Structure 1
Amino acid sequence: MNGANHWSLLLIDRRARERPVAYHYDSFSPLHHTIATEFAERLGASSLQPMGMAQQRNSFDCGVFLLDATRELARRLAQEPRPRIKCCCRVREWLPSQSLSTGRPTPSHWGREKAATPS
């Protein structure tokens, strides 16, 4: 198999900000191990963990295996409790009241821009 025609998944877990960890999912392991290691280092991961997943038995089903692994990973992550996030930006400006016409949230600065624009 040609590594240029193969897909694998690299997940960077940054929950521990000082030591992010990369997880590599590869259905034709270890084909992308070297490039996954290099990419994880470029993204600041302190280590790379090869993850177990179903292995393809041919040279063309990597996309199907990748999608299945991604779906399972997303399902598992969605079941975990969400971390508390401290916001360091001025989020209040982007979390305004509801728009009267649509009922959808509208950024507060939109109202200021509309008021400043002549009709």
Structure 2
Amino acid sequence: MEKTTSKSAKLQFKGYYSQIFGAIVSCFRKAKLMPLEDLQCENPTFTQIAQDLKKFYRTMEILNTSFLEEDDKISQNELGCIKKYTELLERLGSAIDNEDIEEMTEVVAILAEEPYI
């Protein structure tokens, strides 16, 4: 990949990174405040949002390992955060879909302790 394209890709990732956290924070706030019945009516669902974020994570992981110049690589910490929070959002979505209040409460508690959320 050309150096300028590699740098551009990394800059775009930074913007997407912020948007991902915005989406996760939004879901987290809703899960804390809204009744389960309302959460189940969200469109897109939490599960759908998590699936989309997981696809994005996989794409960024491939881009990072296969195409970006060494100086422009996305840190494993940043990629790890996306993966971690996406997995938590998946658990939250599954808990909402399955009306599992205990799991939902556990995930909300985990997210409440996270420094970036």
Please tell me the TM-score bracket, short chain as reference.
Answer: under 0.3
Instruction: Identify the structure with bigger relative contact order (alpha carbons < 8 Å, sequence gap 6+).
Output: 2
In terms of fraction of residues, the more helix-rich structure is 2
Larger radius of gyration: 1
- Using the size of structure 2 for normalisation, the TM-score is 0.23
TM-score of the aligned structures, taking structure 1 as reference length: 0.22
